[in-house]
Structure 1
């Protein structure tokens, strides 16, 4: 015959099974056997009556400790539309300028009027910082920038939206060319979208470094995007006989600055179609106006 001390007693109850399983594991870890059962109100954890008070104290301590733990919040990056459309325009513009330059369309030597020459830029021909981004020496040069620029541009477009992303890329690419001209001797020339490509990489790194609420990552985890960006830069930005390493560097730095500024904009702006269309229109206007000045200047 069982004595009252042998009877199982409820030590914990919940409307869901999962918390009971968690408590049962806690009790098991300290050597108290328990069972999970269902009653009319939900789920319960029962223990021997002789161990009831010890079990309840242990459960209370566990729940108290758990309540003061800082929850780790997995912050998800919100994504926006227009990224693919932006890449399509990027490819279309670069290919179009390459063809127009090849045939000297409209009687204009596009390379001559649009390349970035440090002395010309410093004398006030700032449009060259934009036009030079769309000129390429040959098909291989073009294809390389189409591939890497399309990839990084797609990623930037996903986090900022297509219009704002490409405005940021073009502006930071032009800033990179301007800074490159500032640091070079007057006769230095440069062409190619690679400055904008590395600007896009800098924008991505800056966005990844942005502090997020509830982020419980370690210092190494927080700085890992910058480390990854530097490694990527070293992998694709330092090779090649005609590589303008300083232009790549200034593009990356400019992208970090512009990306940090864009990351502080409210998300409602990225979600706004009006803002995205306005940014796309400004980007297109910058490109057209720069070439118009180049062709008539």
Structure 2
């Protein structure tokens, strides 16, 4: 008869609960499951608590190479549930459509594009505004897809306000570094620098998930990120260096931002971050007038 039962794990999905039960029963550890709405709690005897935790930890250590970042708590990162990402995509489309409608497309690129020459002369706002401009419909569609694939998960993981700020920061920093490297009349536009920044941020999220000693497998997400750079840097007019600097800007800033975001827990955090993001974009658009 079961007695002295204590909760071992809580809030598990049905699939995860089945796996934990299988692990524990294989070690002759008595378990009981309690259902709460759509989640499940696992209970074991107090005397078996330590052994159960050791068995579960051992299982995940042995199987870490077969699944990418297995965790007891699942993190929902569906791209199609991020309304903020769709709002950003809508903004990019609206700006491109208005430029074509009023026949100011070329003028906007010259006035707001990331010109290395003008950025080095003090027009740093171009590093922000260039992210909003695209050369044609194909360029725009590619970056909108990138926002859905990479940007939306970043926003879901970090918040509706913090996420866009992180994307803007990575994209802007990537454009600034790119301008300082060229130091010529090099001109770059498009949200792809921020998209690659999002890929870097996702790598940073994987790296900062758990405080562990350095191991070679920690570098695996970085190797995956470099493959992404190669895949998304094809095309005659592609600014490869902007992609590279965007990715590493996201990676470097994400290593700082994600732990900081976990530490700062207050209700207005995302609203403040969203306001700052909108303020930076609005100020940059007005800077040239």
Relative to structure 1, the CA distance from residue 211 to residue 127 in structure 2 (aligned partners, 3 Å threshold; closer, same or farther) is same
1:248-263 → structure 2 map (5 Å cutoff): 248-263=243-258
Describe the superposition over 1:158-202 as per-residue Cα deviations: whole angstroms up to 9, x where unpaired: 210121011010011000000000000321111111001001111
Equivalent in the alignment of 2:228: 232
1:129-278 → structure 2 map (5 Å cutoff): 129-210=127-208, 212-213=210-211, 219-237=215-233, 239-267=234-262, 269=264, 272-278=266-272
Number of aligned residue pairs:
241
1:81 and 1:161 in contact (8 A); partners too: no
Match of 1:112 among 110, 113, 132: 110
2:114 and 2:127 in contact (8 A); partners too: yes
Describe the superposition over 1:227-282 as per-residue Cα deviations: whole angstroms up to 9, x where unpaired: 22122222122x1010100000010111011111112215264x644111111111
Is 2:71 the counterpart of 1:71? no
Describe the superposition over 1:103-145 as per-residue Cα deviations: whole angstroms up to 9, x where unpaired: 3479993222111110100010000000000111100000000
RMSD of aligned alpha carbons: 3.5
Relative to structure 1, the CA distance from residue 159 to residue 182 in structure 2 (aligned partners, 3 Å threshold; closer, same or farther) is same
2:78 and 2:153 in contact (8 A); partners too: no
Q: CA deviation at 1:207?
A: 1.0
Relative to structure 1, the CA distance from residue 127 to residue 98 in structure 2 (aligned partners, 3 Å threshold; closer, same or farther) is same
| Larger Rg, first or second structure (1 or 2) | 1
- TM-score normalized by the length of structure 2: 0.72
Relative to structure 1, the CA distance from residue 278 to residue 75 in structure 2 (aligned partners, 3 Å threshold; closer, same or farther) is same
Is 2:122 the counterpart of 1:124? yes
Structure 1 residue runs of 5 or longer lacking an equivalent are 1-12, 25-63
Structure 2 residue runs of 5 or longer lacking an equivalent are 6-20, 30-49, 61-70
Equivalent in the alignment of 2:280: 286
2:131 and 2:189 in contact (8 A); partners too: yes
Q: Distance in 1 between matches of 2:170 and 2:268?
A: 22
Q: CA deviation at 1:79?
A: 5.6
Relative to structure 1, the CA distance from residue 67 to residue 117 in structure 2 (aligned partners, 3 Å threshold; closer, same or farther) is closer
Greater displacement, 166-175 / 218-227: 218-227
2:158 and 2:261 in contact (8 A); partners too: no
Relative to structure 1, the CA distance from residue 266 to residue 259 in structure 2 (aligned partners, 3 Å threshold; closer, same or farther) is closer
1:114 and 1:131 in contact (8 A); partners too: yes
Q: CA deviation at 1:203?
A: 0.6
Equivalent in the alignment of 1:53: none
Relative to structure 1, the CA distance from residue 95 to residue 78 in structure 2 (aligned partners, 3 Å threshold; closer, same or farther) is same
